[in-house]
Every structure is written in C-alpha cells, then in structure tokens.
C-alpha cells in the first residue's frame, strides 16, 4: 500500500554521523594553537611574538583572530559547513572537526553541525527533511525516482506528519505524483470554475433556501422545509444508504449528445466538475472535521462529566476524529485519480471501494457530530467505535487494491499520463 520507514532526528543518531564520516582527522597529531616567534599573518599583516596562530595540515598559517573571523563568515553568513577550505587562495584543504572545536565558540559549532546534517540529508537520495513546521526530523525511504509511476511513497514522521517522499505534497494516496501534478495544474488553470463550485453555500433542492455547510457530514437537512439531501450531488439522502447510491460515480453519456464540438466541450466540463466538486468537497469537509477535532478534547471532557466515563473510555472520540481526517484525505485524491482513469472492469471495483469508504465516512461523520447527551449513550459509543474500525479497514482495502494494480501496470489513464508498468515494484506494507 505504501512505503514507510522509521524517522529519526539526525542529531545524536548513530546511523547519521556525517561529521565523523566526512571530516577525517589524524589522532596522532591533534591540531593546536601555536605562538611562533617572528610570525606575521598574511591576512592582517600583524606581527607579534605573542600572536597566537593556527594552520591546517597544509601548513598555511594565519593568526587566530583572522581564522575565527573567516570561519564565522563561512558558517554564520554563508551557511557553509561540509566544504570549508583553508583560507589560502587555491588551497583545497578541508577544515576538520577537531580544528573547528578549538577555533570557534560552542554556538558556532552547534550551527556548523546543523548545517552539516542538513547538507548530508540533502545530498542523500534516501533522506528528506520532514516538511512539518519546526520538525527537526529526517525521513528515510528507499523508493527511487524511476519507481514513482508504480508506487506512491507515503511516509510518516515521528511527529505524525504524513507526506509523499516523491514530491513536496502531503499524503496523496492513491494518486501517483505525476497525476497529482497534472491535476493541481488543471485546478489552477480552471480557477474561476473551481471558485464557483467550491462555494460554501448551496440552495435547498426543494425550497431553494440558502444553506451553509458548517460540519464535515454531507447529510444535510433544510431547516425550513426539513428536506434531507446530499451536499455533494444534491440528491435525496434516503437513496444514499441503498443500492441506488451512486454519488461517487460519473455516468458517461451516450455519444449522440457529443457529436459537435460544443456538446463535447460541455460534456468534458460536466465530467471535470463532477470530479472536482467531490474532490473540493472532501477537502472542505476535512478542514471542517479538523476544526471539530480541535474541539474534540473539550468535547471529551464534557462527555466525562455527563456520562461518568474515564479519560481512557472517551478516547474513542479522538480515534474517530483522526479516522475521519485520514479517510477524507484519501477520498479527496480518489476523485483526482478517477478523473484520469480509462473505464474498464477494474474501475468498477475501484468505484465500489470508493463508494463503500465514502458511505462509511459519512455515517461516522454524522455520528461524531451528535450532541453530548446522545454521545453518552453506550450503544452509540459502540457504534462509533465499530464504524471507526470499519472506515480504517475500507481505506486500507481501497489503497492496497489500487496500489497493487498500479504496480502491475493494470490501470489505463486518459491524456498523456505515462503511469504504470508491468515491472513489479518493491515490497510495501
């Protein structure tokens, strides 16, 4: 399903010690500051019998003050670390770690180490820094660039941030990086359309009253006429729990309506709007669910007071919240993935998996938004826990099936996407 490796902060890590690996030194002759009678510094031209000086193994000697100023400029101002050379013009001798320790202050040594670690990670294809704000960790993943058409290399940092190792985007399973790049560009190009369809208000299909969506659940009830409908497709909600549920699937029209260029363009736009509307809706719902999640702890405290449950016993709300956010993220990208898919037997299975996950998420979202009085009911608690588990399982099933077909080159895509190969991919968990 996804490539994942344990993450680690490089500071103090036994596996990642570039300083010892790159900057070798000779323990038999440790570097030291010296006072040499008659010495004159070639940089500042100062000459004093008491003047402390320093030289690397190359023998180019300068006074300590000039050396320190040179290193301060390189480390603090220029951000250099791995390739700091002797100050002598044309000399390629690299500064070693023990020399640095006796020349500069501890805060400059600390900055040097940070730069050295960063350089080490940036020069290694198997490492990347976690993009989460203020996270110091690097993540290791063995997926190569030529495998990105067959694998979506999602990794998870110890800080909890999930992102794609192959591109700078957050987790976008099951869509490959090339498809994601193309989809985001298309959305940006069609920004006016996107702005229109991503409006936060819609009209009730029955009485045309304006309705604002203030939660992640797509089950809407008009306050004026009590009509229940789906926010995504505006269809009758009672049909969404039956075999007639078809909200996730775009129905291709017969070719009779698409004979002229104008009709084809209209059908193409309708198709794009179908997938973008659902993509944008899950993105918005995920944001709303996240806002609700920020209030979950307060909700859990209230539930403790109302029901007499312990803090451990109300953790099911936090689990449900996390599941909703993760599943929404996956569902969002299934619509971008489906937009580029050519229809075949596999797409039917994909859409069935997508539908099952989507229905489960909507049910869980509706349960999660119940008032505290109802959440204290033991039966509802069990239902939420069961539905959370079911959502997680359906997400895994969808991702594993999609990833296996991608690795085996079974998906066919529209446009100029060159994705998938019959070549088998590396193992995944």
- Residues with a known catalytic role: 217
Residues 96 and 83: their CA atoms lie apart, in Å, by 10
Helix axis angle, 315-340 to 177-189, nearest 10°: 80
Residues 245 and 62: their CA atoms lie apart, in Å, by 80
SS3 assignment for 264-333: HHHHHHHHHHHHHHHHHHHHHHHHHHHHHHHCHHHHHHHHHHHHCCCCCCCHHHHHHHHHHHHHHHHHHH
Torsion-angle region of 140 (φ positive above 0: left; ψ -120 to 50: alpha; else: beta): beta
Residue at token pair 């180490």 = 113
Three-state SS at 229: strand
Burial class of 283 by CB neighbour count within 10 A (0 to 12, 13 to 18, 19+): middle
Residues 343 and 194: their CA atoms lie apart, in Å, by 25
DSSP label at residue 53: E
Three-state SS at 248: coil
Nearest CA to 87 among 107, 73, 106? Answer: 73
**CA distance to 20, 41, 66, per residue, from 54 (Å):** 22, 10, 10
Three-state SS at 380: helix
């Amino acid at each position: 399903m996804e490539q994942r490796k344990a993450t680690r902060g490089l500071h103090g890590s036994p596996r990642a010690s570039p300083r010892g690996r790159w900057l070798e030194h000779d323990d038999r002759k440790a570097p030291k500051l010296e006072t040499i009678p008659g010495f004159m510094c070639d940089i500042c031209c100062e000459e004093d019998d008491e003047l402390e000086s320093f030289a690397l193994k190359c023998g180019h000697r300068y006074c300590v003050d000039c050396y320190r100023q040179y290193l301060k400029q390189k480390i603090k101002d220029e951000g250099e670390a791995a390739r700091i050379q002797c100050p002598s013009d044309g000399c390629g001798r690299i500064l070693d770690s023990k020399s640095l320790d006796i020349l500069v202050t501890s805060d400059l040594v600390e900055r040097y180490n940070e730069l050295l670690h960063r350089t080490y990670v940036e020069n290694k294809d198997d490492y990347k820094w976690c993009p989460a704000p203020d996270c110091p960790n690097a993540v290791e993943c063995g997926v190569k660039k030529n495998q990105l058409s067959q694998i979506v290399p999602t990794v998870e940092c110890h800080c909890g941030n999930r992102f794609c190792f192959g591109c700078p985007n957050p987790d976008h399973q099951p869509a490959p990086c090339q498809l994601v790049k193309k989809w985001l560009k298309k959305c940006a190009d069609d920004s006016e359309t996107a702005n229109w369809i991503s409006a936060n208000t819609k009209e009730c299909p029955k009485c045309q009253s304006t309705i604002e969506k203030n939660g992640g659940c797509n089950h809407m009830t008009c306050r004026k006429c009590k009509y229940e409908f789906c926010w995504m497709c505006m269809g009758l909600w009672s049909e969404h729990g039956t075999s007639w549920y078809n909200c996730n699937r775009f129905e291709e029209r017969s070719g009779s309506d698409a004979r002229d260029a104008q009709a084809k363009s209209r059908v193409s736009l309708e198709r794009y709007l179908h997938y973008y509307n659902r993509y944008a809706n899950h993105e918005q719902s995920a944001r709303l669910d996240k806002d609700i999640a920020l209030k979950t702890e307060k909700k859990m405290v209230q539930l403790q007071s109302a029901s007499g449950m312990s803090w451990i016993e109300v953790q099911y709300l936090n689990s449900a919240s996390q599941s909703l956010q993760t599943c929404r993220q996956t569902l969002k990208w299934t619509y971008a993935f489906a937009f580029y898919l050519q229809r075949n037997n596999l797409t039917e299975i994909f859409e069935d998996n997508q539908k099952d996950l989507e229905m489960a998420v909507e049910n869980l979202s509706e349960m999660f938004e119940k008032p505290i009085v109802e959440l204290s009911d033991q039966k509802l608690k069990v239902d939420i826990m069961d539905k959370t588990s079911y959502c997680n399982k359906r997400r895994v099933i969808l991702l594993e099936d999609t990833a296996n077909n991608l690795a085996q080159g079974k998906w066919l895509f529209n446009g100029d996407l060159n994705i998938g190969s019959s070549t088998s991919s590396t193992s995944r968990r």
